[in-house]
Amino acid sequence: MEAMKSKTVIKQFTAWSYSRYRDYSRCPLFAKLKHLDKLPEGEESPQMARGTLIHKIAEDYLRGAIRGFPAELLAMKKYYEAARCRKGMELEEQWLFDKDHELIGHTFPPEVNDPKNPFAWFDTFNNADWAAWRRIYLRVKMDLNVVDRDTNVLIVVDHKTGKFRDYELESYGLQLEIYAMSGMIKYPDVAGVSPRMWYVDAGVQYGEDLFFPRKDQPRLIKLWDQRVKPMFNDTKFKPKPNNKCRYCGYRKEVDGPCEF
């Protein structure tokens, strides 16, 4: 009788987001354990919990669900007050694109989405069906976006907590590029995109001088396809020890699966 052969399933990335790209760049094994194996990283840190809370406060304020001005956002008061007056603002959406960079759907936050039908977004674009789930190539989470009616420029804002760090400027730039690229696809009639980060603790708006004109769209798509290619082709996911290993929930010291 022929011995039964066990089949090893080789996992690979089929979709990306900024956080997946960032985690893969930091350490391929870390990205695999977190995003493909979905192993919990351990307890949520106080910083992460606060970030979630601030996002919710900002969203509630901008939606008009909070009357007074929240103390947590005071350092950026003028920006939030001005944003709340804008018409056509969209909050906390996730945009979903396929490999051809076509927008195939979007999700809303749970309070806007239908809680009984978490896949209601399938009906929102192109009569998408279950096959659309497997077509997702890129996910982009937007905190706030609005088209400026005077300039026809899409303004995209990412709420941030914690310190604004000059040495992180490169990663800030990468995130803003993704907002610009996806914003131009989602809004094909805008002249361009002005993406920004609002550091609510530091009182800093980063990116206000940045503008990506419409003609940048193909360049950004090509650039990001090249950047994520190694992540999509990887089947080995080797560990890459780095200066964040000491915080990694998968490290050896906490009985994680990593050898480091």
- Binding segment for ligand SF4 (CB under 6 A), chosen from 24-32, 71-79, 149-157, 222-230, is 24-32
231 binds ligand SF4, rule: CB under 6 A: no
CB-wise, 122 or 237, nearer to ligand SF4?
A: 237
CA dihedral 82, 71, 75, 211 (to 10 degrees): -40
- Binding segment for ligand SF4 (CB under 6 A), chosen from 42-50, 96-104, 198-206, 246-254, is 246-254
- Binding segment for ligand SF4 (CB under 6 A), chosen from 26-34, 55-63, 143-151, 155-163, is 26-34
Strand partners, 213: 192
- Which residue in the set 13, 21, 27, 197 belongs to the binding site for ligand SF4 (CB under 6 A)? 27
CB of 197 to ligand SF4, least distance (A): 25
- Which residue in the set 18, 20, 29, 140 belongs to the binding site for ligand SF4 (CB under 6 A)? 29
95 binds ligand SF4, rule: CB under 6 A: no
- Binding segment for ligand SF4 (CB under 6 A), chosen from 41-49, 51-59, 120-128, 248-256, is 248-256
19 binds ligand SF4, rule: CB under 6 A: no
197 binds ligand SF4, rule: CB under 6 A: no
CB-wise, 119 or 260, nearer to ligand SF4?
A: 260
Pull the structure tokens for residue 221: 């798509």
Count the residues of the shown chain that bind ligand SF4, applying the rule CB under 6 A: 13
CB of 243 to ligand SF4, least distance (A): 9
239 binds ligand SF4, rule: CB under 6 A: yes
SS3 state of residue 223: helix
CB of 237 to ligand SF4, least distance (A): 9
Phi, psi for 256 (deg, rounded to 5): -80, 175
* DSSP strand pairing (90-97 vs 212-213): unpaired
| Rg of the chain (C-alpha set) | 20
CB of 259 closer than 8 Å to CB of 239 = yes
- Binding segment for ligand SF4 (CB under 6 A), chosen from 173-181, 197-205, 223-231, 236-244, is 236-244
Pull the structure tokens for residue 93: 């959406």
CB of 110 closer than 8 Å to CB of 66 = no
251 binds ligand SF4, rule: CB under 6 A: yes
Pull the structure tokens for residue 12: 């690979």
CB-wise, 27 or 83, nearer to ligand SF4?
A: 27
Pull the structure tokens for residue 1: 């009788």
Query: In which residue are the tokens 């840190």 written?
Result: 45
* Whole-number Å distance between alpha carbons of 10 and 142: 32
Q: How many residues does the chain have?
A: 260
Across 155-166, b (16+ Cβ under 10 Å) vs e yields: bbbbbbbeebee
Pull the structure tokens for residue 149: 């009616």
SS3 state of residue 250: coil
Pull the structure tokens for residue 126: 């192109």
- Which positions lie near ligand SF4, rule CB under 6 A? 27, 29-30, 239-242, 245, 248, 250-251, 258, 260
